[in-house]
């Protein structure tokens, strides 16, 4: 198993080299959200994981539980003996942590491509959920990345849906993140449009229904901007827009304009 020393070594390598988008195949990254937990509107979420090996033979997986300092967690080592390794209900089975949500940090001895599906049973049968690809750790944003390094997502404010924001600290340092919501013309959205969140080392937080504090109304093309505003850590972000009636979700990875 890999220890905190390995994670710390990665952090040192990460922060000076945030330029450069990684290809689909990479050695290290994060599944931004993984769960075995009951949610809102009678939802019950489970995450399945697929690992496609390009050149790797072994992968280390850490489960970083939401709201905790995860710097001392040990990894689970999974041998990659086939082209695709399937890990159903990864939180409840591989990590034995039912009733929780968080993120999955992975480090392989070669290139991999990781895909997750987080799903809930549908009220009328079947399932609803969302697909999220593993994000290369090199895509993270830090305070030193400047205005162009902030992560952005777009969302519509509409009745009958909720927008959940995920924040993932990929460093072993406590980090403060500021989330701002803007209208399409670049103005601050009316109402509570600025949120501040402190992330513990290797922490993951999901901020549910982040548009609930805005003045009521329908707006298209809201811009959500996530920035590291205190600390030397680095973060990834995602936005999940979920239909309240069906729990069908759409997933969006936070992006930067410049790398």
Note the pLDDT tens digit of each residue in 176-190: 999 999 999 999 999
User: Per-residue pLDDT for 11 more than 60?
Assistant: no
Boundary (domain end) residue, out of 139, 158, 177 = 139
> In this predicted model, what pLDDT tens digit does every residue of 51-98 receive, in sequence order?
999 999 999 999 999 999 999 999 999 999 999 999 999 999 999 999
Per the structure, the count of domains in the chain is: 2
Indicate if 149 and 135 belong to the same structural domain.
Answer: no
Indicate if 153 and 133 belong to the same structural domain.
Answer: no
Indicate if 65 and 96 belong to the same structural domain.
Answer: yes
Q: CATH number of the domain that 79 lies in?
A: 2.60.290.11
For the chain, what percent of residues have pLDDT higher than 70? 88
Task: Compute CA 43 distance to the chain's CA centroid, rounded to the nearest angstrom.
Answer: 19
Q: CATH number of the domain that 208 lies in?
A: 2.60.290
Boundary (domain end) residue, out of 110, 139, 168 = 139
Going through the chain in order, the beta strands assigned E by DSSP cover 26-38, 44-53, 58-65, 76-79, 84-87, 100-121, 127-133, 135-136, 141-142, 151-157, 161-169, 175-182, 194-199, 204-207, 219-230, 234-243, 249-253
CA distance 199 to 134: 20
Indicate if 34 and 125 belong to the same structural domain.
Answer: yes
> Which domain range does residue 214 map to?
141-253
The pLDDT, as a whole number, for residue 4 is 53
Q: What is the mean pLDDT of residues 238-249?
A: 86
CA distance 236 to 227: 10
Indicate if 181 and 220 belong to the same structural domain.
Answer: yes
Boundary (domain end) residue, out of 118, 139, 160 = 139
93 belongs to a structural domain: yes
Between 4 and 79, name the one with better pLDDT: 79
259 belongs to a structural domain: no
pTM score of the predicted model: 0.87
User: Per-residue pLDDT for 19 more than 50?
Assistant: no
Contact predicate 155/90, CB 8 Å: no
């Amino acid at each position: 198993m890999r220890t905190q020393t390995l994670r710390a070594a990665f952090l040192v390598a990460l922060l000076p080299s945030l330029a450069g988008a990684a290809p689909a195949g990479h050695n290290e990254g994060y599944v931004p959200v993984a769960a075995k937990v009951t949610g809102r509107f009678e939802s019950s979420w489970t995450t399945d994981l697929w690992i496609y090996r390009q050149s790797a033979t072994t992968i280390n997986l850490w489960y970083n539980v939401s709201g905790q300092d995860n710097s001392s967690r040990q990894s689970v080592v999974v041998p990659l003996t086939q082209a695709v390794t399937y890990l159903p209900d990864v939180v409840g089975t591989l990590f034995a942590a039912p009733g929780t949500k968080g993120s999955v940090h992975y480090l392989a001895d070669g290139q991999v491509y990781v895909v997750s599906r987080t799903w809930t049973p549908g009220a009328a049968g079947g399932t609803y959920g969302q697909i999220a690809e593993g994000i290369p750790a090199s895509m993270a944003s830090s305070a030193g990345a400047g205005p162009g390094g902030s992560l952005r997502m777009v969302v519509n404010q509409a009745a009958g849906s909720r927008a959940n924001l995920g924040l993932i600290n990929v460093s072993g340092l406590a980090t403060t993140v500021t989330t701002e919501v803007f209208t399409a013309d670049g103005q601050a959205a009316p109402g509570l449009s600025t949120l501040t969140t402190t992330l513990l080392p290797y922490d993951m937080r999901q901020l549910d229904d982040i548009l609930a504090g805005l003045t009521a109304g329908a707006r298209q093309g809201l811009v959500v901007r996530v920035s590291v505003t205190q600390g030397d850590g680095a973060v990834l972000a995602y936005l999940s827009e979920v239909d309240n009636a069906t729990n069908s979700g759409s997933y969006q990875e936070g992006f930067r304009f410049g790398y």
